[in-house]
Amino acid sequence: MTETETMTVREAIRAGLREEMNRDEDVFLMGEDVAEYGGVFEVTNGLLEEFDERRVRDTPISEAGFVGASVGAAASGSRPVVEIMFSDFMGVAMEQISNQMAKMRYMFGGKTDMPVTIRTTEGGGQGAASQHSGTPHTWIAHFPGLKAVAPGTAEAAKGLVKSAIRSDDPVFVFENKVMYEQEGQVPTDPEFTVPIGSASVEREGADVTVAATQRMVGESLAAAEDLAGDVDLEVIDLRSLYPLDTETIAESVRKTGRLVVADESPLSYGTHAEVMARIVESEFYSLDAPLQRVGVADTHIPFATELEEEVIPHAEDVIEAVRKVA
């Protein structure tokens, strides 16, 4: 029996960071306000005191500089874990992400590793307006040479951050910022990890598969409770966006014949489309109804509460999508 503890997502990630820093001396943290301040979302709170300023480093506000430095640090034998405070700011560092971090191993003929972990936050719901609320993980998942994970539970958050740090490839961990207080049962064994590229079935059901990410996992589980006795939802936490565990979704669709994809990113050309394309390619003849997607209708995230509530998907949007196909 695996020992678990009730933890918030924030505590789970912090525990994952702490365990990996204890395990491997080459692992260090850097980012804006991660040390003395403890991170604006308090994820790294206390780690400066547990370790020291060599292992937990406050950077200047210069994403291109410190993300670029993580590329050089990784290529020279370190294992940097970088926090980009809001994933919207990835744009500032995109040259180093897309042309250097992603391409270096390939362009060097496989002769270097790139063990960088980027932790960053996504999602609306805080009234933070367009530049602090986006969900741009598709940028990274789309780009060859980068891996992207997006946990939907506290357990997955800890397990994935640990796998990301252990990986010799660049891995982006997308943390939904309104999930930090969400609690779950988290294994305490320091060797517990969640493999990158594996989805988890969070709720078994017979009628409709909901493949969800991040906060939409919880919203979909809530939708499943609302629909219980009427429509039996199977809820999958995709957990890893690239690589994507197509087989777990396909297996579920072979059982249910129906698929809803729920992810808080914009709908066009995105994460939803990728999941659906794969299922159509391989499971077309298992499908009994059109596929449905729940996401953000190609808008930026607005400031005013009424406007933000309008565009951010919730359980009722999942229910609506399920109703169309059930």
Does 15 participate in binding other proteins (rule CB under 8 A)?
no
Choosing from 70, 135, 200, 209, the residue that interacts with other proteins (CB under 8 A) is: 70
Q: What are the strands of the beta sheet with 147-149, ordered from one edge? A: 56-58, 27-31, 79-84, 117-122, 171-176, 147-149, 240-242
Within 114-143, which residues bind other proteins (CB under 8 A)? none
Does 191 participate in binding other proteins (rule CB under 8 A)?
no
**H helices present in 24-76, as ranges:** 47-50, 63-75
Choosing from 15, 20, 35, 66, the residue that interacts with other proteins (CB under 8 A) is: 66
Catalytic residue among 19, 20, 32, 132: 132
The per-residue b/e assignment along 228-258, b for 16 or more CB within 10 angstroms, e otherwise, is eeebbbbbbbbbbbbebbbebbbbbbeebbb
Helix axes 315-325, 215-227, angle to 10 degrees: 60
Does 67 participate in binding other proteins (rule CB under 8 A)?
yes
Active site residue 132: yes
Active site residue 63: yes
Nearest CA to 24 among 145, 198, 154, 168? 168
Does 269 participate in binding other proteins (rule CB under 8 A)?
no
Catalytic residue among 19, 20, 63, 274: 63
Quickly list DSSP for 213-225.
-THHHHHHHHHHH
Nearer to other proteins by C-beta: 9 or 116? 116
Task: Enumerate binding residues for other proteins (CB under 8 A).
Answer: 28, 54, 57, 59-60, 62, 64-78, 80, 95-96, 99-100, 104-113, 144-145, 147, 167-169, 197, 242-244, 246, 250, 254, 278, 281-283, 285-286
